[in-house]
Copies of this chain bind each other. A is one copy, B any other.
Protein backbone atom coordinates (compact mmCIF):
# COMPACT_ATOMS: atom_id res chain seq x y z
CA UNK A 1 0.00 0.00 0.00
CA UNK A 2 1.29 3.42 -0.94
CA UNK A 3 0.15 6.93 -0.19
CA UNK A 4 -0.33 8.92 -3.39
CA UNK A 5 -1.27 12.49 -4.28
CA UNK A 6 -2.89 12.77 -7.71
CA UNK A 7 -3.13 16.26 -9.15
CA UNK A 8 -5.33 17.13 -12.13
CA UNK A 9 -4.74 20.38 -14.01
CA UNK A 10 -7.31 22.66 -15.60
CA UNK A 11 -7.59 20.89 -18.96
CA UNK A 12 -7.75 17.50 -17.18
CA UNK A 13 -10.92 18.67 -15.38
CA UNK A 14 -12.07 21.01 -18.17
CA UNK A 15 -15.62 19.66 -18.37
CA UNK A 16 -17.86 17.12 -16.68
CA UNK A 17 -16.74 14.19 -18.84
CA UNK A 18 -13.12 14.97 -18.09
CA UNK A 19 -13.82 15.14 -14.37
CA UNK A 20 -15.42 11.69 -14.64
CA UNK A 21 -12.40 10.44 -16.57
CA UNK A 22 -10.07 11.78 -13.89
CA UNK A 23 -12.22 10.15 -11.20
CA UNK A 24 -11.71 6.79 -12.94
CA UNK A 25 -7.96 7.27 -12.58
CA UNK A 26 -8.41 7.97 -8.87
CA UNK A 27 -10.60 4.89 -8.45
CA UNK A 28 -7.90 2.75 -10.04
CA UNK A 29 -5.41 3.75 -7.33
CA UNK A 30 -8.02 3.25 -4.61
CA UNK A 31 -8.85 -0.20 -5.98
CA UNK A 32 -5.14 -1.02 -5.89
CA UNK A 33 -5.33 -0.44 -2.13
CA UNK A 34 -3.61 2.92 -1.99
CA UNK A 35 -4.38 5.93 0.21
CA UNK A 36 -5.20 8.78 -2.14
CA UNK A 37 -5.43 12.55 -1.87
CA UNK A 38 -6.55 14.38 -5.01
CA UNK A 39 -5.52 17.93 -5.85
CA UNK A 40 -7.65 19.74 -8.41
CA UNK A 41 -7.32 22.92 -10.44
CA UNK A 42 -10.21 25.06 -11.60
CA UNK A 43 -11.97 23.86 -14.75
CA UNK A 44 -10.10 25.25 -17.77
CA UNK A 45 -11.28 28.78 -18.53
CA UNK A 46 -12.89 29.40 -15.14
CA UNK A 47 -9.95 31.20 -13.57
CA UNK A 48 -9.66 33.41 -16.66
CA UNK A 49 -13.35 34.29 -16.37
CA UNK A 50 -13.07 35.11 -12.67
CA UNK A 51 -9.90 37.14 -13.23
CA UNK A 52 -11.57 39.03 -16.10
CA UNK A 53 -14.54 39.96 -13.90
CA UNK A 54 -12.15 41.24 -11.25
CA UNK A 55 -10.24 43.37 -13.76
CA UNK A 56 -13.49 44.77 -15.10
CA UNK A 57 -14.34 46.00 -11.62
CA UNK A 58 -11.03 47.75 -11.24
CA UNK A 59 -7.54 47.47 -12.70
CA UNK A 60 -6.19 47.90 -9.17
CA UNK A 61 -8.05 45.20 -7.30
CA UNK A 62 -7.51 44.36 -3.67
CA UNK A 63 -5.37 41.20 -3.78
CA UNK A 64 -7.25 39.62 -0.89
CA UNK A 65 -10.67 40.08 -2.49
CA UNK A 66 -9.24 38.90 -5.81
CA UNK A 67 -8.21 35.70 -4.04
CA UNK A 68 -11.74 35.29 -2.65
CA UNK A 69 -13.08 35.45 -6.20
CA UNK A 70 -10.61 33.25 -8.07
CA UNK A 71 -10.27 30.60 -5.32
CA UNK A 72 -13.91 29.71 -5.96
CA UNK A 73 -12.89 27.99 -9.21
CA UNK A 74 -10.97 25.23 -7.44
CA UNK A 75 -13.74 24.90 -4.85
CA UNK A 76 -16.20 24.05 -7.64
CA UNK A 77 -13.94 21.35 -9.09
CA UNK A 78 -13.29 19.87 -5.64
CA UNK A 79 -17.02 19.44 -5.01
CA UNK A 80 -17.65 18.02 -8.49
CA UNK A 81 -14.71 15.61 -8.19
CA UNK A 82 -15.95 14.36 -4.81
CA UNK A 83 -19.39 13.78 -6.39
CA UNK A 84 -17.86 11.99 -9.39
CA UNK A 85 -15.90 9.70 -7.08
CA UNK A 86 -19.00 8.95 -4.99
CA UNK A 87 -20.85 8.19 -8.22
CA UNK A 88 -18.21 5.52 -8.91
CA UNK A 89 -18.74 4.10 -5.43
CA UNK A 90 -15.57 5.64 -3.99
CA UNK A 91 -15.79 7.11 -0.49
CA UNK A 92 -14.66 10.72 -0.92
CA UNK A 93 -15.08 14.20 0.48
CA UNK A 94 -13.72 17.62 -0.37
CA UNK A 95 -11.52 19.56 2.04
CA UNK A 96 -11.43 23.31 1.54
CA UNK A 97 -8.34 25.20 2.65
CA UNK A 98 -9.99 26.47 5.84
CA UNK A 99 -11.26 23.01 6.78
CA UNK A 100 -7.87 21.32 7.07
CA UNK A 101 -6.48 24.05 7.40
CA UNK A 102 -3.76 24.88 4.88
CA UNK A 103 -1.79 27.90 6.04
CA UNK A 104 -0.06 29.70 3.16
CA UNK A 105 2.20 31.80 5.35
CA UNK A 106 4.30 28.65 5.26
CA UNK A 107 3.27 26.44 2.38
CA UNK A 108 4.54 23.39 4.25
CA UNK A 109 2.34 24.11 7.25
CA UNK A 110 -0.55 21.88 6.26
CA UNK A 111 -2.59 20.13 8.88
CA UNK A 112 -3.21 16.65 7.47
CA UNK A 113 -4.40 15.00 10.67
CA UNK A 114 -8.06 14.86 9.65
CA UNK A 115 -7.29 13.57 6.16
CA UNK A 116 -4.98 10.86 7.42
CA UNK A 117 -7.55 9.65 9.93
CA UNK A 118 -10.06 9.36 7.06
CA UNK A 119 -7.54 7.39 5.00
CA UNK A 120 -7.93 4.67 7.61
CA UNK A 121 -11.64 4.56 6.70
CA UNK A 122 -10.74 4.23 3.02
CA UNK A 123 -11.83 7.77 2.24
CA UNK A 124 -10.30 9.78 -0.58
CA UNK A 125 -9.54 13.44 0.18
CA UNK A 126 -10.20 15.97 -2.59
CA UNK A 127 -8.32 19.23 -2.06
CA UNK A 128 -8.78 22.35 -4.19
CA UNK A 129 -5.38 23.41 -5.40
CA UNK A 130 -4.09 26.92 -5.26
CA UNK A 131 -5.83 28.16 -2.15
CA UNK A 132 -4.83 28.49 1.47
CA UNK A 133 -5.47 30.46 4.61
CA UNK A 134 -3.51 33.61 5.38
CA UNK A 135 -2.38 34.63 8.87
CA UNK A 136 -5.53 36.78 9.37
CA UNK A 137 -7.91 33.95 8.47
CA UNK A 138 -8.35 35.32 4.94
CA UNK A 139 -8.40 33.14 1.84
CA UNK A 140 -5.18 33.43 -0.13
CA UNK A 141 -3.97 31.84 -3.33
CA UNK A 142 -0.57 30.72 -4.55
CA UNK A 143 -0.66 32.61 -7.85
CA UNK A 144 -1.49 31.34 -11.33
CA UNK A 145 -0.42 27.74 -11.80
CA UNK A 146 -0.12 27.33 -8.03
CA UNK A 147 -2.04 24.05 -8.17
CA UNK A 148 1.13 22.05 -8.93
CA UNK A 149 2.85 23.68 -6.00
CA UNK A 150 0.02 23.01 -3.57
CA UNK A 151 -0.18 19.37 -4.70
CA UNK A 152 3.54 18.96 -4.00
CA UNK A 153 3.15 20.69 -0.62
CA UNK A 154 0.27 18.36 0.19
CA UNK A 155 2.36 15.35 -0.82
CA UNK A 156 5.22 16.56 1.37
CA UNK A 157 2.91 17.11 4.35
CA UNK A 158 1.35 13.66 3.84
CA UNK A 159 4.80 12.10 3.40
CA UNK A 160 3.36 10.60 0.22
CA UNK A 161 5.20 7.97 -1.77
CA UNK A 162 4.48 9.77 -5.03
CA UNK A 163 2.85 12.88 -6.40
CA UNK A 164 1.28 12.29 -9.83
CA UNK A 165 0.78 15.45 -11.88
CA UNK A 166 -1.86 14.73 -14.53
CA UNK A 167 -1.75 17.15 -17.43
CA UNK A 168 -2.40 17.36 -21.16
CA UNK A 169 1.05 16.10 -22.17
CA UNK A 170 2.23 12.59 -21.38
CA UNK A 171 5.58 13.47 -19.84
CA UNK A 172 8.75 15.48 -20.07
CA UNK A 173 10.42 15.35 -23.48
CA UNK A 174 14.01 15.81 -24.58
CA UNK A 175 12.74 18.96 -26.25
CA UNK A 176 9.49 20.49 -27.55
CA UNK A 177 7.96 17.80 -29.84
CA UNK A 178 6.24 20.55 -31.86
CA UNK A 179 9.70 21.65 -33.03
CA UNK A 180 11.43 18.28 -33.09
CA UNK A 181 9.09 15.42 -34.03
CA UNK A 182 11.86 12.99 -33.03
CA UNK A 183 11.88 14.24 -29.44
CA UNK A 184 11.79 11.37 -26.95
CA UNK A 185 9.83 11.13 -23.73
CA UNK A 186 12.18 10.83 -20.76
CA UNK A 187 11.46 7.90 -18.42
CA UNK A 188 13.08 9.82 -15.62
CA UNK A 189 14.78 13.11 -15.04
CA UNK A 190 16.43 14.61 -11.97
CA UNK A 191 14.99 17.54 -10.01
CA UNK A 192 18.03 19.65 -10.98
CA UNK A 193 17.60 18.97 -14.68
CA UNK A 194 13.86 19.56 -14.49
CA UNK A 195 14.46 22.89 -12.75
CA UNK A 196 16.80 23.98 -15.54
CA UNK A 197 14.37 22.73 -18.19
CA UNK A 198 11.41 24.45 -16.49
CA UNK A 199 13.11 27.78 -16.00
CA UNK A 200 14.51 27.55 -19.54
CA UNK A 201 11.06 27.46 -21.03
CA UNK A 202 9.83 23.86 -20.92
CA UNK A 203 6.51 24.59 -19.32
CA UNK A 204 5.35 21.16 -18.23
CA UNK A 205 5.78 21.80 -14.51
CA UNK A 206 5.85 24.99 -12.51
CA UNK A 207 9.43 25.81 -11.46
CA UNK A 208 8.29 26.46 -7.90
CA UNK A 209 6.66 23.04 -7.58
CA UNK A 210 9.87 21.31 -8.75
CA UNK A 211 11.97 23.27 -6.25
CA UNK A 212 9.56 22.32 -3.46
CA UNK A 213 9.60 18.64 -4.51
CA UNK A 214 13.40 18.69 -4.51
CA UNK A 215 13.53 20.27 -1.06
CA UNK A 216 11.20 17.67 0.46
CA UNK A 217 12.24 14.71 -1.69
CA UNK A 218 8.76 14.26 -3.17
CA UNK A 219 8.90 11.86 -6.15
CA UNK A 220 6.96 13.51 -8.95
CA UNK A 221 5.39 11.81 -11.93
CA UNK A 222 4.18 13.85 -14.92
CA UNK A 223 1.63 11.96 -16.99
CA UNK A 224 -1.32 12.45 -19.30
CA UNK A 225 -4.94 12.39 -18.18
CA UNK A 226 -5.95 11.41 -21.67
CA UNK A 227 -3.66 8.44 -22.29
CA UNK A 228 -2.85 5.31 -20.33
CA UNK A 229 0.90 5.41 -20.84
CA UNK A 230 3.53 5.82 -18.13
CA UNK A 231 4.75 9.37 -17.69
CA UNK A 232 8.07 10.84 -16.65
CA UNK A 233 9.39 10.42 -13.11
CA UNK A 234 11.11 13.44 -11.61
CA UNK A 235 13.34 12.15 -8.83
CA UNK A 236 16.47 12.75 -6.84
CA UNK A 237 19.59 12.35 -8.97
CA UNK A 238 20.76 9.49 -6.76
CA UNK A 239 17.84 7.44 -8.07
CA UNK A 240 19.00 7.88 -11.66
CA UNK A 241 21.19 4.95 -12.55
CA UNK A 242 22.59 6.07 -15.88
CA UNK A 243 23.13 9.80 -15.99
CA UNK A 244 22.88 11.23 -19.49
CA UNK A 245 25.47 13.66 -20.75
CA UNK A 246 22.59 15.74 -22.12
CA UNK A 247 18.97 15.08 -21.11
CA UNK A 248 17.26 17.80 -23.05
CA UNK A 249 17.33 20.94 -25.14
CA UNK A 250 15.29 23.85 -23.77
CA UNK A 251 14.51 27.13 -25.49
CA UNK A 252 12.99 30.41 -24.54
CA UNK A 253 11.86 32.48 -27.53
CA UNK A 254 10.76 35.62 -25.71
CA UNK A 255 14.06 37.23 -24.78
CA UNK A 256 15.41 40.71 -25.37
CA UNK A 257 19.01 41.90 -25.26
CA UNK A 258 20.18 45.29 -24.02
CA UNK A 259 23.69 46.68 -24.30
CA UNK A 260 24.86 49.83 -22.53
CA UNK A 261 27.83 51.19 -24.47
CA UNK A 262 30.77 52.72 -22.64
CA UNK A 263 29.60 52.49 -19.11
CA UNK A 264 32.32 53.97 -16.85
CA UNK A 265 34.31 51.13 -15.33
CA UNK A 266 33.74 52.13 -11.73
CA UNK A 267 32.59 50.37 -8.59
CA UNK A 268 28.86 50.67 -7.93
CA UNK A 269 27.78 51.01 -11.57
CA UNK A 270 26.54 47.40 -11.88
CA UNK A 271 24.74 47.71 -8.56
CA UNK A 272 22.95 50.83 -9.79
CA UNK A 273 21.91 49.24 -13.11
CA UNK A 274 20.66 45.94 -11.76
CA UNK A 275 19.32 47.37 -8.51
CA UNK A 276 17.18 49.84 -10.46
CA UNK A 277 15.88 47.10 -12.76
CA UNK A 278 15.07 44.87 -9.78
CA UNK A 279 13.18 47.77 -8.17
CA UNK A 280 11.11 47.94 -11.39
CA UNK A 281 10.37 44.20 -11.02
CA UNK A 282 12.50 43.32 -14.06
CA UNK A 283 14.06 39.89 -13.95
CA UNK A 284 17.53 40.06 -15.52
CA UNK A 285 18.83 36.74 -16.86
CA UNK A 286 22.18 36.53 -18.70
CA UNK A 287 24.78 39.23 -17.96
CA UNK A 288 28.02 39.84 -19.87
CA UNK A 289 30.51 42.57 -19.14
CA UNK A 290 32.99 43.02 -21.98
CA UNK A 291 36.59 43.50 -21.02
CA UNK A 292 37.37 47.16 -20.76
CA UNK A 293 39.95 48.06 -23.41
CA UNK A 294 41.28 51.27 -22.01
CA UNK A 295 40.39 50.67 -18.41
CA UNK A 296 37.98 53.62 -18.36
CA UNK A 297 34.74 52.32 -19.89
CA UNK A 298 33.09 48.95 -20.56
CA UNK A 299 30.11 47.60 -22.53
CA UNK A 300 27.48 45.93 -20.37
CA UNK A 301 25.13 43.41 -22.07
CA UNK A 302 22.25 41.53 -20.45
CA UNK A 303 18.92 39.92 -21.28
CA UNK A 304 15.40 40.40 -19.96
CA UNK A 305 12.16 38.75 -20.95
CA UNK A 306 10.49 40.51 -23.85
CA UNK A 307 7.45 41.48 -21.77
CA UNK A 308 9.74 43.47 -19.48
CA UNK A 309 11.78 45.02 -22.29
CA UNK A 310 9.98 48.38 -22.61
CA UNK A 311 10.00 48.88 -18.85
CA UNK A 312 13.73 48.11 -18.75
CA UNK A 313 14.52 50.64 -21.48
CA UNK A 314 12.49 53.29 -19.64
CA UNK A 315 14.36 52.68 -16.41
CA UNK A 316 17.79 52.77 -18.07
CA UNK A 317 17.01 55.82 -20.21
CA UNK A 318 16.06 57.66 -17.05
CA UNK A 319 19.43 56.76 -15.54
CA UNK A 320 21.50 57.77 -18.60
CA UNK A 321 23.05 60.89 -17.07
CA UNK A 322 23.76 59.13 -13.80
CA UNK A 323 25.30 56.05 -15.46
CA UNK A 324 27.21 58.01 -18.07
CA UNK A 325 26.87 55.44 -20.90
CA UNK A 326 27.05 56.80 -24.46
CA UNK A 327 24.42 54.64 -26.11
CA UNK A 328 21.72 52.06 -25.34
CA UNK A 329 21.58 49.31 -27.99
CA UNK A 330 18.80 46.78 -27.89
CA UNK A 331 17.60 43.73 -29.75
CA UNK A 332 14.16 42.36 -28.97
CA UNK A 333 14.47 39.53 -31.49
CA UNK A 334 16.69 37.09 -29.67
CA UNK A 335 16.09 33.63 -28.21
CA UNK A 336 17.85 31.55 -25.63
CA UNK A 337 18.69 27.89 -26.33
CA UNK A 338 20.02 25.65 -23.56
CA UNK A 339 21.55 22.22 -23.33
CA UNK A 340 20.80 20.53 -19.98
CA UNK A 341 22.28 17.37 -18.50
CA UNK A 342 23.59 16.00 -15.20
CA UNK A 343 26.39 14.19 -16.99
CA UNK A 344 28.16 17.35 -18.06
CA UNK A 345 29.38 17.76 -14.51
CA UNK A 346 31.82 14.91 -14.98
CA UNK A 347 32.27 14.91 -18.75
CA UNK A 348 33.66 17.98 -20.47
CA UNK A 349 33.09 18.87 -24.11
CA UNK A 350 29.39 19.73 -24.13
CA UNK A 351 29.98 23.44 -24.71
CA UNK A 352 32.44 22.65 -27.47
CA UNK A 353 29.98 20.35 -29.27
CA UNK A 354 27.23 22.92 -28.85
CA UNK A 355 29.23 25.84 -30.29
CA UNK A 356 30.54 23.72 -33.16
CA UNK A 357 27.04 22.51 -34.06
CA UNK A 358 25.70 26.06 -34.15
CA UNK A 359 28.70 27.36 -36.08
CA UNK A 360 28.21 24.68 -38.76
CA UNK A 361 24.68 26.07 -39.31
CA UNK A 362 26.00 29.64 -39.50
CA UNK A 363 24.25 30.59 -36.26
CA UNK A 364 25.97 33.42 -34.44
CA UNK A 365 26.22 33.23 -30.64
CA UNK A 366 25.58 36.60 -28.99
CA UNK A 367 25.84 35.76 -25.28
CA UNK A 368 26.83 32.64 -23.38
CA UNK A 369 25.99 31.62 -19.83
CA UNK A 370 26.62 28.37 -18.05
CA UNK A 371 25.79 26.53 -14.86
CA UNK A 372 27.02 23.20 -13.55
CA UNK A 373 24.49 21.22 -15.59
CA UNK A 374 23.56 23.67 -18.36
CA UNK A 375 25.00 25.71 -21.21
CA UNK A 376 22.79 28.52 -22.59
CA UNK A 377 23.38 30.69 -25.63
CA UNK A 378 21.57 33.72 -26.96
CA UNK A 379 20.95 33.72 -30.73
CA UNK A 380 18.90 35.56 -33.34
CA UNK A 381 15.36 34.27 -32.78
CA UNK A 382 14.91 33.40 -36.46
CA UNK A 383 17.31 30.49 -35.91
CA UNK A 384 15.57 29.09 -32.80
CA UNK A 385 14.04 26.02 -34.42
CA UNK A 386 17.05 25.25 -36.53
CA UNK A 387 19.30 25.44 -33.45
CA UNK A 388 17.05 23.24 -31.31
CA UNK A 389 16.80 20.58 -34.04
CA UNK A 390 20.54 20.60 -34.74
CA UNK A 391 21.47 20.33 -31.04
CA UNK A 392 18.88 17.61 -30.44
CA UNK A 393 20.49 15.51 -33.19
CA UNK A 394 24.07 16.39 -32.25
CA UNK A 395 23.64 15.14 -28.69
CA UNK A 396 22.07 11.88 -29.84
CA UNK A 397 18.60 12.62 -28.51
CA UNK A 398 16.63 11.88 -31.70
CA UNK A 399 14.33 8.88 -31.49
CA UNK A 400 15.65 5.90 -33.47
CA UNK A 401 12.37 4.38 -34.57
CA UNK A 402 11.75 7.01 -37.20
CA UNK A 403 15.21 6.85 -38.81
Contacts and interface: CB of A to CB of B under 8 A. Distances in A.
Interface of A: 16, 19-20, 50, 53-54, 56-58, 60-62, 64-69, 71-73, 75-76, 78-80, 82-84, 86-87, 93-94, 96, 98-99, 137-139
B87 A53 contact: no
A227 to B, nearest CB: 23
Contacts of A67: 79
Contacts of A84: 57-58
Given A68-B75, A98-B98, A99-B137, A16 B53 contact: yes
A119 B54 CA distance: 25
Given A58-B86, A61-B83, A67-B79, 17 more contacts: A54-B79, A57-B83, A57-B84, A58-B84, A58-B87, A60-B87, A61-B86, A62-B86, A65-B82, A65-B94, A68-B75, A68-B78, A69-B76, A71-B75, A72-B72, A72-B79, A99-B138
B82 A62 contact: yes
A304 B371 CA distance: 79
Contact of A80 (B16, B20, B54, B80): B54
Contacts of A65: 79-80, 82-83, 86, 93-94
B58 A83 contact: yes
Contact of A76 (B19, B72, B137): B72
A20 B58 CA distance: 10
14 contacts: A16-B53, A20-B57, A54-B80, A58-B84, A58-B86, A65-B83, A67-B79, A68-B82, A68-B94, A69-B79, A72-B75, A72-B76, A99-B137, A99-B138
Contact of A96 (B19, B68, B80): B68
Q: Which of A66, A96, A137 has the most CB of B within 10 A?
A: A96
Nearest to A56: B16
A348 B16 CA distance: 60
A79 to B, nearest CB: 4
Contacts of A99: 98, 137-138
Contacts of A64: 93
Contacts of A139: 96
A50 B68 contact: no
Given A62-B82, A65-B94, A79-B65, A16 B57 contact: yes
B62 A83 contact: yes
A86 B57 CA distance: 10
A171 B98 CA distance: 39
Contacts of A69: 75-76, 79-80, 83
A62 B80 CA distance: 10
A99 B54 CA distance: 22
